[in-house]
Amino acid sequence: MRILVTAVFEQIVYHCTCVDDRDPAHPRLEVDAILRDGDADGPLLLPVADYKRMAGFDTADARMPAFRSAGRTEKRDGVEYLVFPVWERIE
């Protein structure tokens, strides 16, 4: 699954869309956004609600236990996020 991110602020993905819905078990972020200091200093965080919207609720609910057991989720202020710890900047 390829997810195009168009807005990130302090590591949190605010706007995104699914550009390829194949293989939702392996989501990949592609960022096309202006990144300022602090926006991408560390892993990027995609709200689980956005993942569910793009992958479909049944598919996402089936995948969430695997993401949680692999340490790919994080909660901040009561919101659960999928964590994308590895990324590379392309000029």
Please report the pLDDT score of residue 86 as a whole number.
73
pTM assigned to the model: 0.91
Dig out the tokens for 1 from the structure.
């699954």
Task: Identify which of 38, 41, 39, 13 has the alpha carbon closest to the alpha carbon of residue 28.
Answer: 13
6, two tokens:
């168009």
Backbone phi, then psi, for 19, in 5-degree steps?
A: -105, -15
Mean pLDDT of 35-46: 93
β strands within the chain, DSSP E: 2-9, 12-20, 28-31, 44-47, 73-76, 79-84
Please report, for the chain, the start and end positions of each structural domain, with discontinuous segments joined by +: 2-84
Position 34 confidence tier, pLDDT thresholds 50, 70, 90: very high
Residues 64-88 have pLDDT tens digits of 999 999 999 999 999 999 999 876 6
